[in-house]
Amino acid sequence: MAMQQELMAAISHEIGTPVARLSFAVHLLADSLPQQVANQQHRLQMALACEEMLLDLQEISDLVAEIMTYTHLEDGGPSIEFKATPIMPILRSVLAQYADYDKRLDMQICPAQYCTKTTGLHIDAEPIQLRRAMQNLVGNAVKYAQTKVVIGYHLVNSDTCEIYVSDDGPGIPEQDYGKVFAPFSRLDKSRNRATGGFGLGLSIVRRIAYWHGGRAEAGRCASLGGARMTLRLPIRQARERCQIMQQAATHGSIIGANTGGF
């Protein structure tokens, strides 16, 4: 696994340079079209081709960035400093970020009566990584939802909380609940390349959950009928775990290689 991760990182790094050169060349070509191509129709066709090439190059760049993020989380993980982090502001921020994704979608935080006792809940987390995980979960939901996306959280017990994102889309077959978190996983026609993404978003969520001592799970939302993706996280991190995470990030150990339990 260590050799695979090293190879993936090396390939991603090497791809970045030629992609940047190609992008620069296409921009130069597009800028020179008014002077180099007299025929207006031909010029428009070439300009459209340049735009398509730039979109393809941007897709490759995005894929490289996703691979590098995933590899970093697999190999030693990020430098994590756990802080008392309020959950509700992160949910509101991520929801606002995707509010304009599709005007037809009703996006909301769970009804107040279910969160009344926990609206001020803080958990020990790395805020940037927790926000990244929620962005990936909400971004995944809005691609497949038909009319509604609901996010929220609740206490599982005195030591654990569950943050969830539900949608009313086609859902995930029960036998594939574990597969959706595998890198580059694409399950069926309702969740394929046409919807965008590279199949790494949920894998990144799983690794972030791992580094927080929690787990990511897929299931079905009984009320909406679609998928329900959850992060089950400890409310408080043990001091010993905080030290282990910091040491792992510092030394780049691959203690995250064993994905058992996910």
- In the predicted model, residues of the chain with pLDDT beneath 50 are 112-113, 116, 189-194, 249, 251-262
User: Domain holding 148: CATH number?
Assistant: 3.30.565.10
What pLDDT score was predicted for residue 259?
Answer: 35
In this prediction, residue 72 carries a pLDDT of 65
Q: Do 22 and 98 have their domain in common? A: no
Of the three residues 74, 109, 126, the one that is the final residue of a domain is 74
Domain that holds residue 21: 2-74
Q: What is the pLDDT of residue 112?
A: 46
153 part of a folded domain: yes
Q: Are residues 113 and 137 in the same domain?
A: yes
Predicted confidence at residue 232, as pLDDT, reads 93
Asked, for residue 257, whether it belongs to a domain, the answer is no
Question: What HEC string does the chain produce?
Answer: CHHHHHHHHHHHHHHHHHHHHHHHHHHHHHHHHHHHCCCHHHHHHHHHHHHHHHHHHHHHHHHHHHHHHHHHHHCCCCCCCCEEEEHHHHHHHHHHHCCCCCCCCEEEECCHHHHHHHCCCEEEECHHHHHHHHHHHHHHHHHHCCCEEEEEEEECCCCEEEEEEEECCCCCCHHHCCHHHCCCCCCCCCCCHHHCCCCCHHHHHHHHHHHCCCEEEEEECCCCCCEEEEEEEECCCCHHHHHHHHHHHHHCCCCCCCCCCC
Please tell me the predicted confidence (pLDDT) of residue 166: 94
Q: Give the pLDDT of residue 163.
A: 93
Q: In the prediction, which pLDDT does 231 show?
A: 93
58 and 167 in a common domain: no
| Residue 218 belongs to a domain | yes
**Residue that finishes a domain, picked among 27, 56, 74:** 74
> Is the same domain home to 92 and 66?
no
